[in-house]
Structure 1
Amino acid sequence: MKPRDLAIYVFLATAWGLSFLVVLKVVAAFGWVAAVSIRAFVASATLFLIAKTIRRRLDFSAGWRPFFVVGATTVAGQLLGLSYATPLIGTAMAAIIVASIPLFSMVISHVWGLERIRPSGLFGLALGVVGIMLLVGFPAVPVTSEFILGCAAALAACFFAAFGSNYASHRLKQAGSWEVTTGSFLFGGLIAMPFLLVVPVPGVPGTIDILYLLIAGCVMSATTYLLYFTLVGSIGATRAISVEFVVTVVAVLVGAVILKEPLSPVQFIGAAVIILGCTMVLGLFPWQRTKVADVPLPHQDGIP
């Protein structure tokens, strides 16, 4: 890996790992719906303004429907689920569940006929399911209705992320990463906005809260996705997606050290099993012959 690629890799792992902490701050100030809707608008506007500044032409000739579907799943579905779940189950647990996105992605890709699951991939899927059962079934905190709802929301978010990524790779093959990211964030913000009638902003956000929101939209959404696609083009999607595992490690450390979130020994085992399963699914072991198609996956990283 070239020094530039390594620097991008480390930056993405750090930024996305810390994003779980930023989400907690933003959700507390804006509510879990506004935290997604406004952030999505900020991210879309940031990319649009940057494109105008550098005179990059954005081509949305694919039509609005594909961008709508990707926005509904990878932005609205994924980020609403994670924004709702993270305060309930903690950043560490949410991050570990997010690491299971490749498992959902491979199943959907196989059902749609986009990719055939090899034996090592099936074994990886089985390990991932076992890991999720260990993670959710043996928590260090009491199993309350809120905990169960949080886990369900996080898993639903992972499914939406995987669904949207596969849909984008199939229907938006000709669209560039700038267009896919800008369009999906715009529609994701529009789709999430009506839910403000049910979950309004709890109060008047302070200056620091607005700063956190801008960081989430400008840095942890817009900027990181552009860098991610740069990394995909340089080292390939399979190796680039592996940054998810480092993101999980960073987020778990943030949760354990800064937020003092408890995780049971069985949950640590579950996390290791999930990461092992995803590694096999992605074909990252040298002895595996299964190769994941190197296609841009707009929001498969599952970052809140």
Structure 2
Amino acid sequence: MNPKELGALLLLGALWGASFLFIRVAAPVLGPIWLIDLRVLIAGIVLLIYALIVRKLPHFKSQWKSYLMLGLLNALIPFVLIAYSAIHLNASLTAILNATTPLFTAIVARFWLGELLSVRKVIGILVGLTGVCILMGWSSVPFTVEVWLSIGASLMAALFYGIGGVYTKRTFTGTPPLALSIGQQLSAGLILIPFSVVSVPTAPISLTVILAVLGLAVLSTSIGYLLYFYLVERVGPTKTVSVTFLVPLFGILWGVLLLNEQITVGTIIGLLVILAGIILMNGIQKQKKII
């Protein structure tokens, strides 16, 4: 990578890592449904405007049902689960749990696509899950029922990212990434609208919350995807997906700097073990990370 491409990769990691900060700020006020509906609708509209500007407007008519399923599996469900977990977990912990996505993707691909799990991949999965256990065992978070449910929600979100990734590979072969992103965001937003109507937030909405929503939608999602497309085109998907390692690191950094979150030895060790598991799997180059 040249300096410009490396800078784009670091910026992408910073923006996707910041998504957990934005969610942590806005979710307790807006609730998961409203926050995520705003996120995907704003992001989808921004990406649609970009597609119009560059004259790459996608066509969804022939595959609209598939796009609805994609939006459900790869955006709506995992985004809402992460937003729910952010109410009770700090941004750092949520970001690290989300880093288990490649582990779940390998498991889903084995049972859905019949992809073989080598001994190395199995060891990598076990090491990664061990990292989650270490993270939980040494966490300073009080383990109430709500916290356990939030941890489960974060891991379920990672599982659905895996399901969504495999579904994309099976259903949208050859589809441009920009079309996938627009279709995914807008589909998720449309599905969520009826639920948003019956879950209107009652807490006062501050300027900080509004800025967090805009940051999540425009910076972490719209601009994040555009940076991702740029890197895939310039350096290829294998090098681009190394952002998987940067996202939890930036998630921790933003949580410490901006939310005064405390980082324990267990947090660092758990993160390192999870990342070691991903490396051992030797399958990270096939993953597309989505926040």
What is the TM-score when the length of structure 2 is the normalising length? 0.92
- Tell me, in whole angstroms, the C-alpha distance in 1 between the residues paired with 2:61 and 2:195: 29
Please give the secondary structure, in 2, of the residue aligned with 1:63.
Answer: helix
- Runs of 4+ aligned residues of structure 1 deviating over 4 Å after TM superposition are none
Query: Does structure 2 conserve the Cα–Cα contact (< 8 Å) formed by 1:62 and 1:172?
Result: no
> Deviation of residue 148 (structure 1)?
0.2
> Deviation of residue 273 (structure 1)?
0.6
- Tell me, in whole angstroms, the C-alpha distance in 1 between the residues paired with 2:268 and 2:238: 25
Please give the secondary structure, in 2, of the residue aligned with 1:140.
Answer: coil
Counterpart in the other structure of 2:129: 129
- Structure 2 counterpart of 1:243, which letter? V
User: CA 1:62 to 1:4, structure 2 compared with 1: closer, same or farther past 3 Å?
Assistant: farther
1:178-193 correspondence runs (5 A): 178-193=178-193
Query: How many residues matched?
Result: 291
- Tell me, in whole angstroms, the C-alpha distance in 2 between the residues paired with 1:113 and 1:73: 17
1:101-120 correspondence runs (5 A): 101-113=101-113, 115-120=115-120
1:48-127 correspondence runs (5 A): 48-60=48-60, 62-113=62-113, 115-127=115-127
- Tell me, in whole angstroms, the C-alpha distance in 2 between the residues paired with 1:3 and 1:233: 16
Identity of aligned residues (%): 27
Query: Does structure 2 conserve the Cα–Cα contact (< 8 Å) formed by 1:102 and 1:282?
Result: no
> Deviation of residue 62 (structure 1)?
4.5
- Tell me, in whole angstroms, the C-alpha distance in 2 between the residues paired with 1:268 and 1:58: 42
> Deviation of residue 111 (structure 1)?
1.4
- Tell me, in whole angstroms, the C-alpha distance in 1 between the residues paired with 2:9 and 2:162: 21
> Deviation of residue 194 (structure 1)?
3.2
- Tell me, in whole angstroms, the C-alpha distance in 2 between the residues paired with 1:195 and 1:58: 27
Counterpart in the other structure of 1:287: none
- Tell me, in whole angstroms, the C-alpha distance in 2 between the residues paired with 1:257 and 1:204: 25
- Could you give the per-residue CA deviations for residues 77-101 of structure 1, whole angstroms, max 9, x where no partner exists? 1110111112311101001101110
User: CA 1:141 to 1:25, structure 2 compared with 1: closer, same or farther past 3 Å?
Assistant: closer
- Structure 1 counterpart of 2:274, which letter? I
- Tell me, in whole angstroms, the C-alpha distance in 1 between the residues paired with 2:84 and 2:118: 35
- Could you give the per-residue CA deviations for residues 20-75 of structure 1, whole angstroms, max 9, x where no partner exists? 11122222442221110011110111111121223223132541121111100111
RMSD after superposition: 2.0
User: CA 1:197 to 1:136, structure 2 compared with 1: closer, same or farther past 3 Å?
Assistant: farther
Counterpart in the other structure of 1:224: 224
- Tell me, in whole angstroms, the C-alpha distance in 1 between the residues paired with 2:67 and 2:104: 21
- Structure 2 counterpart of 1:132, which letter? V
Please give the secondary structure, in 2, of the residue aligned with 1:71.
Answer: helix
Counterpart in the other structure of 2:39: 39
Structure 1: unaligned runs, 5 residues or longer: 285-291
Please give the secondary structure, in 2, of the residue aligned with 1:16.
Answer: helix
1:141-156 correspondence runs (5 A): 141-156=141-156
- Tell me, in whole angstroms, the C-alpha distance in 2 between the residues paired with 1:75 and 1:227: 18
Query: Does structure 2 conserve the Cα–Cα contact (< 8 Å) formed by 1:141 and 1:262?
Result: no
- Structure 2 counterpart of 1:8, which letter? A
User: CA 1:273 to 1:59, structure 2 compared with 1: closer, same or farther past 3 Å?
Assistant: same
> Deviation of residue 190 (structure 1)?
2.1
Higher share in helix: 2
Moved more, 113-122 or 103-112: 113-122
- Tell me, in whole angstroms, the C-alpha distance in 2 between the residues paired with 1:140 and 1:211: 29
Query: Does structure 1 conserve the Cα–Cα contact (< 8 Å) formed by 2:48 and 2:57?
Result: no
What is the TM-score when the length of structure 1 is the normalising length? 0.88
